[in-house]
């Protein structure tokens, strides 16, 4: 039988009568609620994704006001990645659901941006597909691994997310309209680095997971 999933306080999560009970914002050693402030911010990031995508596609590549609003909303949403994580660690609000939702929020935002840019013809589809296959493949693997343990994101994975966010932001904000076409070179270099890190960290994650299972 697979071991029970442990919560942030070290006890078996299955024995908790209500995962929504517990601390919401205050610091302490008692179990944190799954509805704590850090997780609420994470869920808000996920809910912002369809709004951002709608704004970006509604602009239809015209680089008008909607494009700038969409870019600003994406940057705001992705920037809160550090906020919810910081709150969770500082207030001891880390929960298993938060560990899972945090990377999902990043993937929904970045994945939505990549697909939208490809639909608009601004990003090659093969780049989008390669990144999405890695991202959602690893996410599915993380859910499957819940039978044994929650596997948090590695440092390399967090760096990958930051580089992806920067690369996508560069594509979203049409800086080339007033700085010149050389900006496109910078954009593609950033996206190339993001793609390389995405593939590398995916392989690194699978190797680490295999080693854990082999113990």
Question: Domain extents for the chain?
Answer: 24-214
User: What pLDDT does residue 148 have?
Assistant: 61
169 or 102: which carries more pLDDT confidence?
Answer: 169
Give the pLDDT band of residue 13 (cuts 50, 70, 90): very low
Cβ distance 165 to 110 under 8 Å? yes
pLDDT for 159-209, tens place per residue?
898 999 999 999 999 999 989 999 999 999 999 999 999 999 888 888 777
155 or 50: which carries more pLDDT confidence?
Answer: 50
- DSSP for the chain reads -PPPPB-TTSSBGGG-S-TT-SBSSS--SSPBPTT-HHHHHHHHHHHHHHHHHHHHHHHTT--SHHHHHHHHHHHHHHHHHHHHHHHHHHTT---HHHHHHHHHHHHHHHHHHHHHHHHTTSS-HHHHHHHHHHHHHHHHHHHHGGGT---PPPHHHHHHHHHHHHHHHHHHS-THHHH-THHHHHHHHHHHHHHHHHHHHHHHHHHHHHHHHH-
Assess if CATH 1.20.120 describes domain 24-214.
Answer: yes
pLDDT for 115-148, tens place per residue?
999 999 999 999 999 999 998 888 787 777 656 6
User: What pLDDT does residue 81 have?
Assistant: 76
User: What pLDDT does residue 31 have?
Assistant: 77
User: What pLDDT does residue 71 have?
Assistant: 95
């Amino acid at each position: 039988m697979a071991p029970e999933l442990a919560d942030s306080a070290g006890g078996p999560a299955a024995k908790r009568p209500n995962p929504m009970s517990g601390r919401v914002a205050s610091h302490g050693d008692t179990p944190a609620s799954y509805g704590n402030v850090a997780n609420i911010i994470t869920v808000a990031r996920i809910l912002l994704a369809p709004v951002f995508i709608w704004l970006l596609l509604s602009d239809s590549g015209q680089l008008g006001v909607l494009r700038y609003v969409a870019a600003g909303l994406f940057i705001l949403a992705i920037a809160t990645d550090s906020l919810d994580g910081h709150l969770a660690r500082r207030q001891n609000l880390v929960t298993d659901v938060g560990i899972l939702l945090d990377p999902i929020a990043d993937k929904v935002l970045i994945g939505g941006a990549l697909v939208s840019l490809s639909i608009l013809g601004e990003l090659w589809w093969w780049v989008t597909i390669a990144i999405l296959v890695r991202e959602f493949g690893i996410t599915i693997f993380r859910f499957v691994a819940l039978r044994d343990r929650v596997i948090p994101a590695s440092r390399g994975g967090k760096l990958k997310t930051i580089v992806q966010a920067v690369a996508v932001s560069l594509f979203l904000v049409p800086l080339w309209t007033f700085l010149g076409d050389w900006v496109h070179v910078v954009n593609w270099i950033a996206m190339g680095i993001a793609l390389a890190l995405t593939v590398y960290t995916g392989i690194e994650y699978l190797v680490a997971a295999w080693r854990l299972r082999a113990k």
